[in-house]
């Protein structure tokens, strides 16, 4: 058996959300910036993305992060989030996975009690502060990219739920934020399939009713996810973001940033305020407003997201021209009824 061409991955999860990290063997991705590289994957050559995010090498409930050399001098490493629909500019849970993998594997030197890691992403520079002890990352705090609300209480017509209201906000990618009670559901494990189906149906409807375009980031011009949210008795926000066919297992860092931006736009959050985001399985992120800025004339908040990831294994994938499924496949029994929406 020929193992001359392989990909090496670290298996990592953040609060149960799998975010594997490709640490070696990947081809060079053309582009002068990380955004250029992401757009190349999405518009020119998506073979690597499909290879690592589709069956038979992957499952619906996971992401894969591509480590690349940074394109800017002030960064320690660069990464691009690869998912089954496309490559994305940023993800909080995946970023926490990447920082943990870099430090616990020694690819970035670890300093105790805190290590600062600067990451080059397609959404911009993300600064992470990792609390470290005995060679482990106990928590990672991300100073995420500026986040802003695009629209508040936007009314959307739906065949199933009538007229509902959504907030549209950017937290690293664009989100449609939906108060879940409008659908007659709550965010609970028993409702995961119903939520996933509702989310992908809403995402499809929104594509014809709501348009977005980031004022600075070329190619960031779609609502990437629907995020349902519900208020908890202790003040936390229960969230779940929807990708084709499944729900996020983590509280979602970019989604929490987008929600923070919507609260900031409403005047319900000020600099220094903190909110807890809780996932469908009970994992928690802390979202903090650490500053204010502007993006393309839009009032924006600077979010800090804190959570923890765990390295649970290693993986080696063999690259072979004889493999009949190098482009992968996805079936609706696990990926959901709208599997055709996958890229």
Question: Which residues are catalytically annotated?
Answer: 91, 252
Picking from 275, 268, 253, the residue whose alpha carbon sits closest to that of residue 142 is 253
**Distance (Å, whole) CA 47 – CA 41:** 8
Q: Answer for the pair 325, 56: CB distance below 8 angstroms, yes or no.
A: yes
CA 44 vs CA 64, 90, 218: distances in Å: 19, 20, 15
Closest-CA residue to 107 (of 156, 148, 68): 68
Whether residue 67 contacts residue 23, with contact meaning beta carbons closer than 8 Å, is answered with: yes
Cα separations in angstroms, 101 against 60, 72, 73, 150, 311: 22, 21, 21, 33, 7
Residue 189, CA atoms < 13 Å, CB-side half-sphere: 5
Q: How far apart are CA 139 and CA 142, in angstroms?
A: 10
Return the number of other C-beta atoms located less than 10 Å from residue 182's C-beta: 15
Rounded-to-integer distance, Cα 290 and Cα 139, Å: 18
Contact (Cβ atoms closer than 8 angstroms) between residue 110 and residue 135: yes
**Preceding peptide of 56 cis, ω within 30°:** yes
């Amino acid at each position: 058996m020929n193992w001359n061409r392989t990909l090496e991955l670290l298996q990592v999860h953040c609060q149960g959300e799998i975010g594997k990290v490709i640490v070696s063997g990947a081809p060079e991705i053309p582009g002068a910036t990380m955004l250029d590289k992401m757009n190349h994957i999405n518009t020119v050559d998506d073979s690597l993305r499909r290879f690592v995010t589709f069956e038979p090498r992957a499952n619906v409930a996971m992401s894969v992060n591509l480590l690349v050399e940074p394109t800017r001098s002030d960064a320690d490493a660069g990464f691009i989030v690869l998912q089954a629909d496309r490559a994305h500019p940023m993800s909080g849970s995946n970023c926490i996975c990447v920082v943990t993998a870099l430090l616990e594997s020694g690819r970035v030197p670890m300093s105790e009690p805190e290590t600062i890691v600067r990451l080059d992403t397609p959404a911009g520079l993300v600064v992470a502060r990792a609390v470290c002890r005995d060679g482990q990352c106990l928590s990672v705090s991300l100073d995420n990219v500026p986040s802003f609300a695009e629209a508040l209480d936007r009314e959307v017509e739906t065949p199933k739920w009538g007229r509902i209201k959504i907030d549209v906000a950017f937290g690293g990618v664009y989100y449609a934020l939906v108060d879940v009670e409008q659908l007659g559901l709550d965010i609970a494990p028993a409702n995961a399939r119903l939520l996933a189906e509702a989310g992908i149906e809403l995402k499809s409807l929104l594509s014809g009713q709501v348009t977005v375009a980031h004022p600075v980031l070329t190619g960031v011009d779609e609502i990437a996810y629907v995020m349902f949210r519900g208020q908890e008795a202790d003040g936390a926000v229960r969230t779940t973001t929807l990708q084709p066919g499944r729900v996020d297992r983590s509280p979602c860092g970019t989604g929490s940033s987008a929600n923070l931006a919507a609260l900031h736009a409403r005047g319900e959050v000020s600099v220094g305020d903190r909110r807890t985001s809780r996932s469908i399985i009970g994992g928690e992120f802390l979202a903090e407003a650490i500053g204010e800025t502007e993006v393309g004339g839009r009032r924006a908040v600077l979010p800090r997201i804190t959570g923890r990831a765990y390295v649970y294994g290693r993986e080696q994938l063999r690259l072979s021209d004889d493999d009949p499924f190098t482009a992968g496949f996805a079936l609706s029994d696990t990926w959901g009824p709208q599997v055709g929406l996958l890229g």
